[in-house]
């Protein structure tokens, strides 16, 4: 699993049109500060800052591998919590579509793309989204074990969870509230109705709740085109 994660991250950075943004996305996913990363690499924090901001020429493959190795080594020193999460990643029958973005996007961009209606306007939309998962909510409620539930978060919990087959919106938000992992954004696809309890739970968790009326096929196509 370590080698798979290493190759995935390195490949994603190398192939990205904005490698600095992708480096920052992964550094934040591993919860590593610029200072800690620079110390581990033996460089000035300004070097990391310049790479991430695009002020410095994109790093070569050798440097990228050093950065990725630093992510993994720092994670392993603190219990390998991120690597353990990735080892649980995988698709279940309740997952309709799942993707990790090559570069993070901001929540408003995703919401605009899916023609979303914000049901929690008081919650800031300054969220960085690293990917999405489209979930059949009925199957998820009836078949997902606590172990399988972790799989909907893919490679990053900083993602949009999109629920289909929603009637009132209570059950998905209750499940999210009960679990320690939290998404950056929740989307209901063509819900019959969203009651006040679902909205209140989203507000308590500080998670923007979005409604979209797009058909599932169109919705997935638009999400896959992002990032």
Mean pLDDT of all residues in 112-127: 95
pLDDT digits (tens, 9 = 90+) for 173-219: 998 888 888 999 999 999 989 999 999 999 999 999 999 999 999 99
Q: Using one digit for the tens of pLDDT, what is the confidence trace for 213-224?
A: 999 999 999 999
Question: pTM of the full predicted structure?
Answer: 0.64
User: What was the pLDDT predicted at 10?
Assistant: 86
- Which pLDDT belongs to residue 81? 81
Q: Given this model, what pLDDT does residue 11 score?
A: 80
Query: What pLDDT is recorded for position 5?
Result: 80
By the 8 A CB rule, do 135 and 152 touch? Answer: yes
**Average pLDDT of the segment spanning 1-16:** 79
**Alpha carbons within 13 A on the beta-carbon side of 9:** 30
Q: CB of 168 within 8 A of CB of 191?
A: yes
CA distance 174 to 107: 22
pLDDT value at residue 72? 94
Residue 50 has pLDDT above 90, yes or no: yes
- Mean pLDDT (the chain) is 87
Per-residue model confidence (pLDDT) at position 71: 95
Which domains, ranges and CATH numbers included, belong to the chain?
A: 2-85 (1.10.260.40), 90-224 (3.40.1390.20)
Q: What digits encode the pLDDT tens for the residues 65-117?
A: 999 999 999 999 988 888 877 655 555 678 888 888 888 899 999 999 999 99
> Each residue of 137-165: pLDDT tens digit?
877 766 665 556 667 877 778 899 999 98
pLDDT score recorded for residue 145: 59
Which residue(s) pair with 187 in the sheet?
Answer: 162, 210
Task: Inform me whether the pLDDT recorded for 3 exceeds 80.
Answer: no
């Amino acid at each position: 699993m370590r080698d798979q994660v290493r190759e995935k991250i390195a490949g994603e950075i190398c192939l990205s049109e904005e490698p600095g943004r992708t480096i920052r996305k992964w550094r934040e996913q591993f919860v590593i500060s610029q200072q800690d990363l620079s110390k581990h690499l033996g460089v000035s924090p300004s070097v990391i800052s310049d790479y991430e901001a695009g002020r410095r020429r994109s790093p070569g493959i050798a440097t990228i591998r050093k950065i990725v190795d630093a992510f993994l080594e720092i994670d392993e020193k603190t219990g390998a919590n991120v690597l353990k999460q990735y080892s649980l990643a995988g698709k279940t029958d309740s997952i309709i579509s799942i993707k990790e973005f090559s570069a993070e996007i901001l929540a408003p961009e995703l919401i605009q793309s899916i023609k979303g209606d914000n049901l929690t306007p008081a919650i800031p939309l300054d969220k960085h989204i690293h990917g999405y998962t489209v979930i059949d909510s009925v199957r998820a409620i009836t078949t997902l074990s606590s172990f399988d539930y972790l799989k909907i978060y893919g490679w990053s919990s900083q993602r949009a969870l999109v629920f289909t087959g929603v009637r009132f919106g209570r059950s998905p938000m209750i499940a999210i509230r009960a679990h320690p992992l939290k998404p950056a954004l929740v989307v209901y696809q063509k819900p019959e109705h969203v009651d006040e309890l679902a909205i209140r739970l989203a507000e308590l968790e500080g998670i923007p709740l979005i409604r979209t009326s797009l058909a599932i096929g169109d919705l997935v196509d638009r999400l896959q085109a992002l990032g």
